[in-house]
Amino acid sequence: MKKSKLTSVLAVIMLILLVATGCSSGTSATSTPGAGTSGAEKNASGKLDKVTLQLKWLPQSQFMGYYVAKAKGYYKDEGIDLEILPGGSDIIPEQQVYNGVADIGVTWVSSLMKYQSQGWGLVQVGQIFQKSAMLLVSKTSAGINSAADLKGKKVGSWFGGNEYEIYALLEANGLKKDTDLKLVQQDYTMNQLLNNEIDAASAMTYNEYGLLLESGLKDSDLHVINMNDAGVAMLEDCLFVNSDWIAKNQDLYVRFLKASIKGWAEACADPEAAGKVVFDADQSVSLSHQVYMAKEVAKLVVPKDFDPANIGYIDMDAIKQTADLAHKYGLLTKPAVISEDTVTSKYWKEATAK
Amino acid sequence: MKNKVKNLLWPLAFGIALILAWQFGVFHKILDLKPFQLPVPTEIASTLAANLPKALKDCGVTISGALIGMIIGSFMGFMIAAMATFFPKWGYGGMIVVTALNAVPIVALSPIMNLWFSTGMAQKIAVVTVVCMAAMAINAYSGLNNLNPYSIDLMHSVAANKWTIFRKLRLPNSLPHIFTASKINIASSIIAAIISEYFAASTSGLGFGIKDNLRKAEMAMGWSYIVVASLAGVILYCIILLVERDALKWHASQK
Amino acid sequence: MNAAEIQIKNVSMVYPVNNGEDILALTDVNFDIQEGEFISLLGPSGCGKTTLLRIIADLLQPTSGSVSIRGQSPRDIRMQQKYGIVFQSPVLYDWRTVRRNICMPMEIMGIPKKERTTRITRMLELVGLQDFGYKYPFELSGGMQQRVGIARALALNPEFLLMDEPFSALDEFTREKLNEDLLSIWSKTKKTVIFVTHNIPESVFLSDRVVVLSPHPGRISAIVDINLPRPRENSIRETSEFYEYVTKIRRSFEGV
């Protein structure tokens, strides 16, 4: 009996450990030496300041501005040695930045708001994507011509915070997410849609939609619901930092932002070349897909009638819409607190001042 | 009786001490964590209480998938062991295949099963089935074949045929091994079901609840699912122990 | 003159060994056993006495030579379920109670349930375990377990009772008690018994004839008729005739 008791205790511990490691928890905090708040333009000793940037996802043209700026030496010009950390399905930028694994992070605004509302000391300091790239894509054969047609269908989402635009879309069209249709977890390929296992799939304009085209489907084979058109867009890729870190590294961040804006402007002006730069840095996907993505991302960073000089601009109306939708559809239990402590244009103004 | 109470009291006291240390921030101090990174027990408990109906429903989804997969996997594992016993020449090939399958990690197995099956439940059952097959096959095979010396001679001496030997000797002889495999499988089936839900095309189950909530910074909710998963594992394990105690009265280990 | 019940002709047994030096377990063994005879196969370990018993029981095939029982092969006799075997260890099935262990071979032989129950009760009394019928093997001492093994073989009422050192693991007192019991049971049934032992007094006490085997290679070195009167009781061990037989057999070993 004694032995089996021990086995049972071990089994339980194993279970807990395995379950708990399903989420990656960060390592302990480390302090990063920065340039300080003295306002010194460059490091006096001539040595570069180390900065790490945590991406939301794998190295790809979604982040081309940073890759172009790095390749062209714009960070070096600002006295920065930038290290880019790739993301992944188990890497949560908010946790990485909070724990000090990275100094600056790229994440979606709604996700950042969630962490902020839970008490994590993080602050948004730039907005790269001005538009939402989220689509709901279906084959025309499924007959989903408008959001209302989603009734009774099987709809894919990546969840983990990516589901709220869909919730908003459904509610705006009078559909109940739990009863009127079936939401399923989608993997990071588009196979479920291609194999007709689901009727509509989440897709980013710059990535998954391109995968569908590469698989041989044409624009005319697909029907798309665009969150911007549906009025339920939530902001995506933004820049954020740990509040404690920025207090000590204001100047360093401004220099980082300056170089990044330069990189983004150049990338958006010539996405083809930017795609090549990203491909050279990381060949995880094909060159043609990187170039496709670069072209689509450029449309999000510098939309029509948007001055490229304003890259990184934080549109407070869009922020409010994101916050309102996040609260209304249940991501946030109480309204987001929008203040200088949670989202600030201070550094962007400094970086873009002539 | 007094001893039994004592045996129970110590682990219980230790567990309570751990929970108290957790509640009053000892672990947070040691690991340098904020309460929003590691929620305290009372917060987890109140979150769980508020979410109980959904948590139980998710628990039901995971456990039913785990149990169905475990039953199918254990049955298949046993059949493979029986084949290898009845037809040693070619039947042992199945044992080799199943042992090799055993080495495939669950995280690799899940996406493969997602390609083969389209509903979350089927994916989960498939992953659990594969995971449970090997432990049962290996244990059952040793139970069916590690016989006391002469016990087969005794059967032969009265001209018992293969089937009679299987039924009256090999099968009961393998029972303790089958329980050993079941105890291994009950834990691994829940783990496999949960990990499968991380990837599955479904939004129900404990695994989805853990992954999704931890990603969304709903730490207390995520932990409440972890607690439910652990409790379910412990309860199922205890049920197996009770069944085993009843079924193996004759076994020296049950004295 | 009746034909012998069991004829063992030129039986040899070779165990192949990896290094090429095969082990000669038995070479050219010849002897007959009469119906109703109590025969002991006696010898030190390695003399092939257990091997010979297993060949007679059709649990081993001889390398050469043959065993004929009433004109049939050991396999025929085995398939007719005419053997009862007691092994060196009790070979009880842990998951069965004492009664159901005794019952097991009878189930396979298809003996009716009522008859089985009667025989079990009788056999338990015979081996003095009437109070232990519903115990599991792990609740019994080694001596008790071995008595269950004997009861199980006797319950079959076999034509041929083969016993492979059944008492070797028991203490001297238990052994002598069981020797006496065995004889009293045998005297009632008068079945043919082949009894393997390495204990000289035991073989003298029990047997009509003692086949003495010597090792390396295993062969018969002597066959000794024991002309002690029956029924025998333990007091016979104190007689000079008994002592002479023991001495004679012991000398036959020293001569080797």
- Give the per-residue pLDDT at A285: 85
Report the amino acid identity of residue A264: W
Kindly state whether B157 is in contact with chain C, defined as any CB-CB distance less than 8 angstroms. Answer: yes
- How far CA A205 is from CA of A56, A59, A209, B26, in Å, comes to 16, 17, 5, 47
B2 or A144, higher pLDDT: A144
CA–CA distance, A157 with A167 (Å, rounded to integer)? 10
Tokens of A147: 């959001």
Residue A112 has a pLDDT of 94
d(CA A118, CA A135): 28
Q: Are B145 and B85 in contact (CB under 8 A)?
A: yes
Q: 3-state class of C12 per DSSP?
A: strand
Q: Does residue C47 have a pLDDT over 70?
A: yes
**CB-count burial class (<10 Å; 0-12, 13-18, 19+) for B163:** exposed
- Within 13 A of A23's CA, how many CA atoms are on the CB side? 28
Name the pLDDT band for C255 (thresholds 50, 70, 90).
low
Token reading at C161? 């009772």
pLDDT average, residue stretch A252-256 = 96
Query: Quick check: C87 and B252 CB within 8 A?
Result: no
* Å between B197 CA and nearest CA of chain C: 41
Q: Which chains touch B (3 or more CB pairs under 8 A)?
A: A, C
- Tell me, yes or no, if B118 comes closer than 8 A to chain C by beta carbon: no
Query: Is the pLDDT reported for residue B254 higher than 80?
Result: no
B39-254 has CATH 1.10.760.10 classification:
no
Handedness of CA B133, B138, B140, B144 (dihedral sign): positive
Please check the confidence at residue C193 and state whether its pLDDT lies above 90: yes
Please state the rounded mean pLDDT for residues B179-202. 91
Chain B positions in Cβ-Cβ contact with residue A21 (cut-off 8 Å): none
Q: If you average pLDDT over residues A192-219, what whole number do you get?
A: 93
* pLDDT higher than threshold 90 for residue A244: yes
- For residue A2, the model assigns a pLDDT of 42
Q: CA-CA distance, B12 to A158, in Å (whole number)?
A: 41
- The CA-atom distances, in angstroms, between C2 and each of B7, C6, C33 are 72, 12, 11
pLDDT of residue A43: 53
Give the residue, C24 or B230, on which the prediction is more confident.
B230
The answer to whether the beta carbons of residues C241 and C205 sit under 8 Å apart is no
- Residues of C whose CB is below 8 A from B246: none
Distance CA C48, CA C54 (A): 10
Would the CB atoms of C83 and B172 count as touching at under 8 Å? Answer: no
If you measure CA to CA, which chain B residue comes closest to A188? Answer: B199
The domain locations on chain A are 41-130+235-352, 134-226
- Min mean pLDDT across A167-171, A250-254, B7-11 is at B7-11
Residues of A in contact with B105 (CB under 8 A): none
Q: Do A14 and B191 touch (CB under 8 A)?
A: yes
Q: Say how many residues make up chain C.
A: 256
Query: Are A41-130+235-352 and A134-226 the same fold in CATH?
Result: yes
Q: What is the pLDDT of residues B81-97, one digit of tens each?
A: 999 999 988 888 999 99
Query: b/e for A85-118, b at 16 or more Cβ within 10 A?
Result: bebebebbbbbbbbbbbbbbbbbbbbbbbbbbbb
Confidence of residue A37 (pLDDT cuts 50, 70, 90): very low
Segment C117-131, tens digit of pLDDT: 999 999 998 888 999
Closest chain C residue to the Cα of B248, Cα to Cα: C95
Give the one of B200, B237, B254 whose C-beta lies nearest to A8's C-beta.
Answer: B237
Q: Radius of gyration of chain C from Cα atoms? A: 18
Kindly tell me if the per-residue pLDDT of B45 is higher than 70: yes
- For B35-53, what is the mean pLDDT? 92
- Kindly tell me if the per-residue pLDDT of A304 is higher than 50: yes
Is the confidence at residue A6, as pLDDT, over 80?
Answer: no
Q: What is the CATH number of domain A134-226?
A: 3.40.190.10
Whether the predicted pLDDT of B114 surpasses 50: yes
Contact A225, A123 (CB under 8 A): no
Mean of all residue pLDDT scores within chain A: 87
pLDDT surpasses 60 at A117: yes
The answer to whether residue B61 scores a pLDDT higher than 90 is yes
Beta strands in A205-319 (DSSP E): 222-226, 237-242
C25 in Cβ contact with C48 (< 8 Å):
yes
pLDDT given for residue A44 in this prediction? 55
CB pairs under 8 A between B and C: 69
Domain residue spans in chain B? 1-38, 39-254
Q: Quick check: C13 pLDDT over 60?
A: yes
Give the tokens for residue C118.
Answer: 């009667």
Q: Does B66 touch chain A (CB under 8 A)?
A: no
| pLDDT band with cut points at 50, 70 and 90 for residue A242 | very high
Could you say which residues from 171 to 230 on chain B have a Cβ atom under 8 Å away from some Cβ of chain C? 172-173, 175
SS (H, E, C) B191-234: HHHHHHHHHCCCCCCHHHHHHHHHHCCCHHHHHHHHHHHHHHHH
**B–A touching, 3+ CB–CB pairs within 8 Å:** yes
Q: Does pLDDT of A41 surpass 60?
A: no
CB atoms within 10 A of CB C230: 12
Residue B3 touches chain A, beta carbons under 8 Å: no
Q: Is C59 on the interface with B (CB under 8 A)?
A: yes
pLDDT band at A4 (very low <50, low <70, confident <90, very high): very low
Span of A305-309, B58-62, B197-201, C228-232 with lowest mean pLDDT: B197-201
Q: Is C61 helix (H, G, I), strand (E, B) or coil?
A: coil
User: Has residue B178 got a pLDDT over 50?
Assistant: yes
Question: With left for phi above 0 and alpha for psi between -120 and 50, is residue C13 left, alpha or beta?
Answer: beta
The pLDDT score that the predictor gives to residue C84 is: 93
What percent of chain C clears pLDDT 90, i.e. is strictly above it?
67
**CATH code of the domain occupying A41-130+235-352:** 3.40.190.10
